[in-house]
Structure 1
Amino acid sequence: MTRYTAAELRNIKAEDTGRPFDLADKLGVPEAALVAAETGHGTIRVEAHPGRLIPAVQALGEVMALTRNKSCVIEKVGVYNNFHDGDHAAMTLDPEIDLRFFPGQFVHAFAVETPSEKGTRRSVQVFNAAGDAVHKIHLRETSDLAAWEALKQDLALADQSDEITFEPRAPVEGAKASLDRADALREEWRAMTDTHQFNTVIRRLKMNRLGSYRIAGAPFAQPLTVEAGKQLFDRVQESGAQVMLFVGSTGCIEIHSGKFETLRPMGPWINVMDPRFNLHLRGDHIAEVWHIEKPTKRGPAISVEAFDAEGGLIFQCFGMREEKGGDPEAWAALVNDLPRLAEAAE
């Protein structure tokens, strides 16, 4: 890892107008190092644990929630209502701000104020032990500034150093499967009654998500073409389908429930630009796409899931349940009509 002093990083940032994620990658430093360097210069280190942080964020009122992985960024506007804390997992359950948190990944957090031509930009930024972004909260014009001042005062850490030591980044786990357990996988998959049982099944069989998809076979997991990952967004937008789109970092999953109203492709980016929901997806990062079907008590849960070349999950897209306004039959037909890898090879 390249070593810079906090002062050097502040000077470099002052001359760079690009995204912090890209600048950190170019410099060979964690993104959190760029933020930490501003401590004492408009930035305050604050408590990161969701149990303290999220109730303070809820008091801010309407904000923008942002979660990203290296291939996809999701942004939702709303309020952090209905927070449920937990040691291993926590969540907000709001129609707009629908999040799943993994508190063990909430290691470093900052309250950031940045001057701009349009006034001061304010945000809470959370990073894992390696300094990779886990979740960010951006205040809006309607956010409660008194609550912002309270957050900074109440959650400020005693240690306000502008330099932090980060752990090495854990490598992405590639596909992990056991061919000798393929029959057991199919048997347990077939017996599932809830999608949340899936992770328990594959852990018990010492596999991971992508590895299990590669050996399960139809009707459980069917490979689609890479182009299907891009076509999915066009077809959801054209049909007006109600979907649930999941995008995750190492420590947070952000969920959009509803339609894709406005698509604006730009170069390699697939963009959804709706008033309270934005998505920015690098279509050229998609290396594998899967049509997945899991049995539940309410009927099959059908999803389209995209992975990058390293085997990292980029997004999952499910049809909305019928009782929430979805049309399961139309969703199944939409997914079944996406181009399949086997068909493309014929």
Structure 2
Amino acid sequence: MLSSFYKEALQTQQNHSHKNTAIDERLNISTAESMQARLGQGVQYLQADVRTLLSELESVGTTLSITRNQHAIHEVIGRYENQRIIPNGHSGVILNPGALDLRLFFNQFGHVFSLEEPGSTGPKYSIHFYDTQGDGVHEVHCINETDKTAWLAVIKKYATETPGAPHISAEKPNQTPSQKTFEPSNELIQEIEMQWRAMDDVHQFFKLLNQYGVKRTQLFHAVKNQDLARRVKNTALISLLEESSQEQNNIMIFVPNRACTQIFTGAIEYVMLTPQHPWMTASNSTFRLHLNINAITESWITRKNTKDGFVTSLEVFDANGDQIVQLFGQRAEGQNEQKQWRRQTFSLLSY
């Protein structure tokens, strides 16, 4: 029997049939609440620790994995192999450069559902991970290469009935530093720059952000016009993707959200941008990026020091100062940055 809430969702879908209209947005609910309303209608709640479930997914073989934020969708075909996850640990990685490459922050994960829906050639299966606020952060889709017997065994092992599904709150706490005014003195700017240059690992930049309680863009503005951070036009992302596609050098594309970051490493084959349409696509045979270019508010070329010298990235942000996507040139530890990538990124500075 359909819940009254799900009936309302279906009616909303009928009343607003435009393909870009989301049911959850119309009903002012989280995507997890929308999924929860469908329990018993092809949806099951998975009562499993996220670390355990990800470990189980290694048995299903090749899948389509999707990580998203509000403005970007990162799709990779790969396998849940080479997991470096500690039981009860706060973070972990699934390390398959060139395939499925994930950074995971387990304290941000909240709920997991499985979905079965009709397809043209039979049932379609997927698993959907949500954060503690009910926002979708990661998906795993069963494809032709997936071991469906192993997939269904995992679902059966952890599926629970409706009474076991928890209440989901869509209340959004303050997840990022406030946009307080940050107007450092000349002395403080010099101190920030000194600390920035003293780094020997790009991950140390997070400590700098936490020290001053600011967003990335606020630090960039503080040292702008230096060789560390230079603002560029918001067309830079398209330009850089098109140039790397033409030259076929390997790049890295990071799409983050609160719970995970998914990374692509390889060469882009196609870049598609339809006139008067906000979503662009960059892809190759095993990867696809969709991104709303209208959401881009700031774009920066930044340089951070490592033990192997400076590395350069393009960082793209929305109006809240939240990172949409970040691009690097591919390199292995112990190697210098690609000269080709450095030339491509530096060419954006002349805009």
Give the TM-score of the pair, scaled to structure 2: 0.88
1:164, CA displacement in angstroms?
Answer: 3.2
CA–CA distance in structure 1, aligned partners of residues 306 and 34 of structure 2: 45
- What does 1:173-322 align with in structure 2 at a 5 Å threshold? 173=177, 175=179, 177=182, 179-180=184-185, 181-217=188-224, 218-266=226-274, 267-321=277-331
Of Structure 1 and Structure 2, which has the larger fraction of its residues in strand? 2
Gap change, CA 1:141 and 1:334, over 3 Å in 2: same
Counterpart pick for 2:91 among 86, 89, 92: 89
1:256, CA displacement in angstroms?
Answer: 0.3
8 A Cα contact 2:66 2:138, kept in partner = yes
Q: Which runs of 5+ in 2 are unaligned?
A: none
Moved more, 66-75 or 42-51: 42-51
- What does 1:33-44 align with in structure 2 at a 5 Å threshold? 33-44=33-44
Letter in 2 for 1:226: N
Task: Name the residue aligned to 1:165.
Answer: 168
Letter in 2 for 1:166: S
Counterpart pick for 1:122 among 119, 122, 125: 125
CA–CA distance in structure 2, aligned partners of residues 330 and 312 of structure 1: 28
CA–CA distance in structure 1, aligned partners of residues 157 and 19 of structure 2: 29
Gap change, CA 1:142 and 1:17, over 3 Å in 2: farther
8 A Cα contact 2:232 2:349, kept in partner = yes
CA–CA distance in structure 2, aligned partners of residues 134 and 283 of structure 1: 20
Report the 3-state secondary structure (helix = DSSP H, G, I; strand = E; otherwise coil) of the residue aligned with 2:66: strand
1:325, CA displacement in angstroms?
Answer: 9.3
8 A Cα contact 2:9 2:27, kept in partner = no
Report the 3-state secondary structure (helix = DSSP H, G, I; strand = E; otherwise coil) of the residue aligned with 1:100: strand
Gap change, CA 1:17 and 1:102, over 3 Å in 2: farther
Q: Is residue 334 of structure 1 aligned with residue 344 of structure 2? A: yes
1:109-138 deviations in Å (ceiling 9; x for gaps): 001101123321100001112211010011
Moved more, 315-324 or 139-148: 315-324
CA–CA distance in structure 2, aligned partners of residues 230 and 67 of structure 1: 20
CA–CA distance in structure 1, aligned partners of residues 246 and 334 of structure 2: 20
Gap change, CA 1:98 and 1:160, over 3 Å in 2: farther
Gap change, CA 1:322 and 1:146, over 3 Å in 2: closer
Report the 3-state secondary structure (helix = DSSP H, G, I; strand = E; otherwise coil) of the residue aligned with 2:348: coil
8 A Cα contact 2:110 2:133, kept in partner = no
CA–CA distance in structure 2, aligned partners of residues 42 and 320 of structure 1: 41
1:330, CA displacement in angstroms?
Answer: 1.2
8 A Cα contact 2:39 2:162, kept in partner = no
8 A Cα contact 2:113 2:127, kept in partner = yes
8 A Cα contact 1:40 1:162, kept in partner = no
CA–CA distance in structure 2, aligned partners of residues 56 and 236 of structure 1: 36
Gap change, CA 1:130 and 1:277, over 3 Å in 2: same
8 A Cα contact 2:40 2:162, kept in partner = no
